[in-house]
Amino acid sequence: MFSDIRIYIVVGIFMIVCISLMIFNFVIIHHIQRKNSSSTGIVKRWIKRLYRQAPITSGKKLSTVKYEKFLLRKLAHTENLVAYSQALQYLKDESPEIYNSYADTKYVALKKLANIYKRKSSIERTYYAEFIYDFPQVAEEAYGQLVDVLISYIDGSNVYCRTNILRALCSLGSAQGVVRALRTINNNALFMHNRILTNELSKFKGDKEILAEYLWNECTDWNDNLLVSVIKFVTEFSDRYGNLLFPILQDPSTDTEVRCNIIRYYGTYSHDPAYSILIDFIVNPTNIDLAIEAAAALSLYPSSKTVTTLKDALSSPDWYIRYNASYALIKLGNKADLIEVLQTQNEYATEIIAYIFQLRATLQNSNLQKKTDGEKASA
């Protein structure tokens, strides 16, 4: 009898918990729907307001001071800033003439607004930096002062905020601003993965050669992570750094990832002085990572010595060395060398080359199928 009562109590508690969870979920869903509806309404109101304020539709200019005060009061709230940004994007996509008419008024008091957000949390500063990234042309008038404020945002920031700050500075095309921001990040030992850094640097709207020169001038001060980012960045567009990178590659105390990225640079832009050290990395593979990268880079250095080295590398116990050596031989394009390898008794070599040919055939068939499907869809 007593045990039956305990079972009923447990079942009753379980049902109460389930009902409570259901009610909680309904409340949360309702709250999210109301919030989304409210946000949509705010964006629509901003769109109407922007249409009214644009000189091309209104036929007149509003008082700059009056409109600045209005914007500062409204955009000081993050929710309004996000809605304003979405409204501007809608205008830019749907009515570019009206958007340009509105943007040309330069009513937005960006520096004043930037200083307001300087006193806010890291998350709120992130939204403001993203706004500048999305609409850099609006920031032209406040350019110089705005760069200073954006860099000050780095203090006490999280990685998302730092990423958006860098994105904003790159969208403004401020080479010195980008270098100052990276210097602040570097000096304060703030982490940003080199992939993120390289990705943002690649979007730089100004002269990339000038930015690369500024970055390289401080290369001895950068930590290894930042130096990798700089090397990846210059690899995307410049063949002017072969001589500058070579001493760093030669130094055995240099971080392995830095040396690997330098080898990738030499696999993109040939540099004759680097040839012998690339060969040595494969012949004497004391560092497997360097040997792997060197095997891939040698595809840019056609010679009988290259072919011999790559053929020998096909016997390496490391799969990645064999793979890159095989791929390099295929890229060098000497069919006689490939046939000779395939006719040997080296199972490692024949297996990896056959694998690459099979992989390339699969990719070609896949691309052909996509092209065929695309043509059918367009028809």
Q: Average the pLDDT over 293-297 and give the result.
A: 96
Q: What's this model's pTM, rounded to 2 decimal places?
A: 0.78
Q: Is the pLDDT of residue 169 over 70?
A: yes
Q: What distance, in Å, lies between the first and last C-alpha atoms of the chain?
A: 76
> Per mean pLDDT, which of 5-19, 172-186, 338-352, 364-378 is the most reliable?
172-186
- In the DSSP assignment, the letter for residue 238 is -
Domains and CATH numbers, the chain: 239-373 (1.25.10.10)
131 by Cβ neighbours in 10 Å (0-12 / 13-18 / 19+) ranks as buried
> Residue 69's pLDDT is what?
83
The stretch 106-134 carries a mean pLDDT of 85
Give per-residue pLDDT as tens, 299-352.
999 999 999 999 889 888 898 998 899 889 888 876 666 666 666 656 666 677
Question: 114 vs 32, 60, 108, 231, CA distance in Å?
Answer: 29, 28, 11, 32
- 139 close to 177: Cβ distance less than 8 angstroms: no
In this prediction, residue 360 carries a pLDDT of 64
Per-residue pLDDT tens digits for 360-379:
666 666 665 555 555 545 55
The whole-angstrom separation of Cα 360 and Cα 164 is: 38
- Find how far residue 205's CA is from the centre of its chain: 14
Show the tokens assigned to 322: 């064999």
Identity of the amino acid at 123: I
Residue 332 is predicted with a pLDDT of 87
Name residue 83's amino acid: A
156 φ/ψ sector (left φ>0, alpha ψ -120 to 50, else beta) = left
Backbone torsion region of residue 228, taken as left when φ is above 0, otherwise alpha when ψ lies between -120 and 50, otherwise beta: alpha
Q: In terms of pLDDT, which residue wins out, 258 or 47? A: 258
Compute the average pLDDT of residues 219-238: 95
Q: What pLDDT is attached to residue 314?
A: 85
pLDDT of residue 276: 96
Instruction: Look up residue 222 and give its DSSP letter.
Output: S
Q: What is the pLDDT of residues 74-118, one digit of tens each?
A: 889 998 999 988 988 888 888 888 777 776 555 456 778 888 999
The per-residue pLDDT of the chain, averaged, comes to 83
Average pLDDT over residues 235-243: 95
Q: What is the model's pLDDT at position 15?
A: 79
DSSP annotation string for 228-274: HHHHHHHHTT--TTHHHHHHHHH-TTS-HHHHHHHHHHHTTS--GGG
- CA dist., res. 118 & res. 211, Å (int): 26
Q: What is the rounded CA–CA span in Å between residue 166 and residue 34?
A: 34
8 A C-beta contact, residue 222 and residue 185: no
Mean pLDDT of 61-85: 81
Closest C-alpha to 140, from 171, 182, 177, 181: 171
Q: What is the pLDDT of residues 28-43, one digit of tens each?
A: 665 555 555 456 788 8
Indicate the SS3 state at residue 254: coil
Q: Contact, 162 vs 191, CB < 8 A?
A: no
